[in-house]
Chain A
Amino acid sequence: MSGRRLPESGNRIDRSRSIRFTFDGNGYEGFEGDTLASALLANGVDVVCRSPILGRPRGVYSAGIEEPSAFVEVREPWFEPIVPATMVNLVDGLDASGRPGVGVLPADPPSPKPGVHRHAHVDVLVIGHGRAGSESAAEAFGAPGSQRILVVDRLPWFEARESGVRTLPRTTALGIYDDGFVVLHERGTAYDTLWHVRAGRVVLATGAHERPIAFANDDLPGVMLAGALARYVRDHGVLPGERAVLFTTNDSTAAVADTLTSAGAVIAAVVDVREGWSVAAAEGTTSVSAVRLVGPGGETRTVAADVVGVSGGWNPAIQLARAIGVGLRFDEELATYVPDGTGPEWLMIVGEAAGDGLPATDAFWYSPADDLSTHFVDLQRDQTVQDVLDAVEGGLRSVEHVKRATYIGTAIDQGRTSGTLTAEIVNDALGMALGAQGPTSARPPVVPLPFSVLAGIERGPALLDPVRTTPMHGAHVEHGAVFENVGQWKRPRYFPRDEEDLDDALARECVAVRTTAAALDASTLGKIEVVGPDAGVFLDRMYTNRMSNVAVGSIRYGLMLGFDGMVFDDGVAMRLAEDRYLVTTTTGGAAPVLDRFEEWLQTEWPELRVYCTSVTEQWAVIAVGGPGASGIVRTIGTDVDLSAASFPWMTWREGTVAGVPCRICRVSFTGELSFELHVSAWHGHHVWDAVLDAGAVPYGTEAMHLLRAEKGYIIVGQDTDGTVTPDDLGMGWIVNPSKGDFVGKRSLVRPDTMRPDRKQLVGVITDDAGLLLAEGTQLVAESGTGATPGPGVGHVTSSYRSPTLGRTFALALVSGGRELIGERVFTLGRTEPIPLRIVDPVLYDREDERRDG
């Protein structure tokens, strides 16, 4: 090859603006408007990279998005691990080097180009500003209902014919989605933009891609798509070679010959399949030096040439349309697939993308030869005609399977050059008709883009999901709390002192709750105010027990079921007034429960006069528990009589603590005397500090989990998994069938929910008091020596090392478990079965003697 810049021509370059760039360490010059590919051709660079598997030299093959051959890594001005040279717009200081078809992410990658997201709403979006696209935009302009028109094209710059039409250059469409939603990637100079466009109508004017013909050494630098040769002359003033062979099946190459000739090149041969001639092979070491031709009678001829322009016909570029439901049909005249007219009514495909104006062609896929092992079909995947035939020979009949066996079409060009070729080679090899099965599916993004553009400015862990913190979070941080994520919430898991590890801190915190006084930040509890004259009736239908007869000032624990009778959430309902309840939910259940309330109220019982409001974040909640709990509350100051006689279990009182208004609840999740202090979120930090200053030991969720398990209290979502009924939990007492219907009630008397062998919640203890079972451990009925461990009977849901009990213990769901209390079960140890015993799930203070202090 001997590519050079022509003295004239090049309608996309600005010769007054010279650009310096570096490729493979060498300095070069190009012009504004060049792509890296055109600039490399202008500088006579034949070999851009090596092929990924076979290491063969590869050069520029096309002039656009369909490039399967010339890949580079860009280091400056912004790092991109791999990109086709045809898609890199030349900018000052560009530093790139060849990449063998596969990008490499360095261990310490340079920061990528910044990316932002933007949204746009338009009446008409035109994708592609070729002839058909610009005509469509002009037609739409001023038409009723199309005030806002946007035209996008990947060209570095272009102008719309009408001044009111908005344009986005350097922009490619990545995907078209339902209802005119289109995602675009704009490659800016300082940053990239991912556009989310909602368009009333979408006009697809993406043109067509030329199709290659496979022959021996068709991957040698100098072999290019014929139309690309003309485009480099016309657009960039670059002549890729001096002596050209044109290998064609159609009339489109006549204009290419004219363009090359007028630029000073010699047409060494026009090899027309329709006249019985074909190219057998390209010859040369690192670029084409000669071309071997075969005639209709088998005669051969070798001509000297440095470029081969190949045209096997043209494929409409409709990758974008296929994922939105546009079908294809095989067009005999064009020997390719064109849109079949199906698809959404807001999508219009125009011009060459619709198959209009494309030249008729012979169907010719590759030059026959004994050796097809260098007839490349997919250059980037180094796959040849022989590889396709081998896949078919191996028994694959679907093009989709051949794709997966050979990886053809999975590279950066997404099968733009190889797709039709591969499909027809497969059809031919199977003796099927032309077009019997089409090219493989195309999916968004139809043009590769850096992940950093998708991420936009939303980078880093903090932005992945909102982080919710309680009003006392700052105090926890100062206290050195170790946090855990509970949904979006950060909750203190434990508060290590000095060099304590989890086990040490956990034991200390548990002992504090059981023997002195401790405090838990329970602010993350979901809290919903249910207000209205029918609030009680409504809650009766949502919970398994009656809430309408809870007295004002009292609290009742409740379970909520799904339609199917399975436990969905739990919490307490505080009656604030005749027409007002505050119900609590699990931390994770806050939004689902509110959604469920709304769903029933809006869709089934619109006649109920009830409003629901989330107040989770309006209230800070501090659970002060332990034998010394009332002492702590008295120390921080309260006007509420805390004695058990006047403030009994499961009631609440309004008053002040630490000088601020407070609702105090006598509820307990640990089994100890507890006061839950509900204060305004504004006062949460203040009251928490006061409680700790008064001597309460802060404890975290880990201790809370352990303490509640000792009491056999469940955690929905840990001891339940959506297949557990109240009776399975031994909580049949909370189901009140006499009060009327409630959600899930009917399901509780289905045969399956009444089976005696359902899994039931029990306690499980190991013979070895120091052995801690893993949560999720499977249990078997028999010790089952040998390969068969016997039937599984259940699994461990919670497991802890209890400082109070001085041993480990677990909760488990075991088939017919309540009947098995006292019996043996086993789990499989590493070498031998581990003996366990089923016990009552309440292992601590079964008589509830401690909750009143």
Chain B
Amino acid sequence: MLLIRCPWCGPRDEIEFRYGGQAGLTYPTEPEALSDEEWADYLFLRDNPKGPFHERWFHTAGCRRWFNAVRDTATHRFVGTYRIGEEPPA
């Protein structure tokens, strides 16, 4: 059970959270201007690195806020968590 540091509530058990996939994907301002390929990329393609990964989490059974995290996908170790709009930890 991961110990996840919610930027609002502090360290809490993993069961309080929901995973939200890759972070930093911005919804296109004009989806209609995108080609089918570009839209499909946005819809379906995600990074899948072995190592540090910027991802989103939702404190669904806590403060119900979304936040971002950098987690090593090989070790599950969290490099850090940060609020939306903040810079990721180095």
Contact = CB atoms under 8 A, between A and B. Distances in A.
A245 B43 CA distance: 71
Interface string A728-752: 0000000000000100011101110
Nearest to B34: A746
A598 B63 CA distance: 12
Interface in A166-200: 177-181, 198
Nearest to A345: B77
In this complex, which of B1, B26, B77, B85 has the most chain A Cβ atoms within 10 angstroms of its Cβ? Answer: B1
A393 interface: no
Contacts of A751: 36
Contacts of B60: 595
Nearest to B85: A606
A103 interface: no
A599 interface: yes
B1 A179 contact: yes
Q: Interface of chain A, helix or strand or loop or mixed?
A: mixed
A564 B36 CA distance: 12
Given A595-B58, A599-B58, A602-B84, A178 B76 contact: yes
A131 to B, nearest CB: 31
A746 B27 CA distance: 12
Given A606-B84, A747-B39, A344 B75 contact: yes
A547 B30 CA distance: 21
B46 interface: no
Nearest to A342: B75
A603 interface: yes
Interface in B5-54: 13-14, 18, 20, 26-27, 30-32, 34, 36, 39-40, 43
B66 A602 contact: yes
A598 B64 contact: yes
In this complex, which of A179, A564, A747, A751 has the most chain B Cβ atoms within 10 angstroms of its Cβ? Answer: A179
Contact of A179 (B3, B18, B40): B3
A352 B33 CA distance: 65
A563 interface: yes
Contacts of B3: 178-181, 198
A177 B64 contact: no
B43 A181 contact: no
Contacts of B79: none
Contacts of A180: 3
Contacts of B34: 746
A604 interface: yes
Given A178-B3, A746-B31, A602 B65 contact: yes
A741 B3 CA distance: 38
Interface in A334-357: 344
A325 interface: yes
Interface in A551-589: 563-564
Nearest to B78: A179
A179 B3 CA distance: 6
Interface size class on chain B is 20 to 34
A750 B36 contact: yes
In this complex, which of B20, B43, B56 has the most chain A Cβ atoms within 10 angstroms of its Cβ? Answer: B43
A535 B38 CA distance: 30
A603 B56 contact: yes
Contacts of B84: 602-603, 606
Interface residues of A, number: 24
Contacts, number: 55
Contacts of B32: 741, 745-746, 749
A750 B14 CA distance: 37
Nearest to A119: B13
Given A741-B32, A747-B43, A325 B75 contact: yes
Contacts of A344: 75, 77
Interface string A346-384: 000000000000000000000000000000000000000
A751 B36 CA distance: 8
Nearest to B1: A181
B27 to A, nearest CB: 5
Contact of A178 (B1, B36, B65, B66): B1
B38 to A, nearest CB: 10
A340 to B, nearest CB: 15
A564 B20 CA distance: 17
Nearest to B38: A746
A178 B26 CA distance: 31
Interface in A76-116: none
Contacts of B66: 598-599, 602-603
Contact of A563 (B26, B43, B58, B75): B43
Nearest to A591: B60
A181 B14 CA distance: 11
Contacts of B1: 177-179, 181
In this complex, which of B14, B27, B60 has the most chain A Cβ atoms within 10 angstroms of its Cβ? Answer: B27
Contacts of B43: 563-564, 747
A394 B20 CA distance: 47
Nearest to A745: B31
A595 B36 CA distance: 28
A544 B85 CA distance: 29
Contacts of A741: 30-32
B39 A746 contact: yes
Contacts of B26: 604
B31 to A, nearest CB: 4
B15 to A, nearest CB: 11
Nearest to A182: B1
Contacts of B56: 603
A516 B38 CA distance: 56
B57 to A, nearest CB: 11
A745 B32 CA distance: 8
Contacts of B2: 178-179
Interface in A746-799: 746-747, 749-751
B9 to A, nearest CB: 15
Contacts of B31: 741, 745-746
B40 A750 contact: yes
Contact of A750 (B30, B39, B65, B85): B39
A747 B36 CA distance: 9
In this complex, which of A177, A598, A602, A603 has the most chain B Cβ atoms within 10 angstroms of its Cβ? Answer: A603
Interface string A196-215: 00100000000000000000
Contacts of B40: 750
A72 B39 CA distance: 64
A179 B40 CA distance: 37
Contacts of A598: 58, 64, 66
B32 to A, nearest CB: 6
A749 B34 CA distance: 11
A741 B28 CA distance: 10
B36 to A, nearest CB: 6
Nearest to A196: B1
12 contacts: A179-B76, A181-B1, A563-B43, A595-B58, A598-B64, A599-B20, A602-B65, A602-B66, A602-B84, A603-B66, A741-B30, A746-B31
Interface of B: 1-3, 13-14, 18, 20, 26-27, 30-32, 34, 36, 39-40, 43, 56, 58, 60, 64-66, 75-77, 84-85
Given A599-B58, A741-B31, A747-B43, 4 more contacts: A178-B76, A325-B75, A599-B66, A603-B56
